[in-house]
Amino acid sequence: MEVKVTTRKWGSSIGVILPKKIVEQNKIKENEEITIELKKRPLSGEMFGRFPRFKGKKTAQELKDEMRKGWD
């Protein structure tokens, strides 16, 4: 099951609020220990520079032209 929630400041910690529907479906009770899998969506600025550069130093236009060959 996947649900998107927003983090909120709670004292000196960060917390999330689970929607009522999720709580009811999973029969989650107060003070019950649960496990949450975290997946953070990377921001575009964090993605910049993570991909290896192409050998040959082609321009973006040259790469687009190569990809489009045969589409005509």
Residue 59 is part of which domain span? 8-68
What global pTM score does this model have? 0.48
Q: Is residue 49 part of a domain?
A: yes
How many whole angstroms separate alpha carbon 36 and alpha carbon 18? 11
Q: What is the pLDDT of residue 46?
A: 60
Q: Is residue 30 part of a domain?
A: yes
Q: Is residue 17 part of a domain?
A: yes
- 24, 18 in Cβ contact below 8 A? no
Total tally of structural domains belonging to the chain: 1
What is the per-residue DSSP string for 32-63? Answer: --------PPPPHHHHTT-SPPPTT---HHHH
Q: Is residue 28 part of a domain?
A: yes
pLDDT tens, per residue, the chain with 72 residues: 778 888 899 999 999 999 999 999 999 999 999 998 887 776 666 655 666 665 667 777 887 888 888 775
Q: Is residue 14 part of a domain?
A: yes
Q: Is residue 1 part of a domain?
A: no
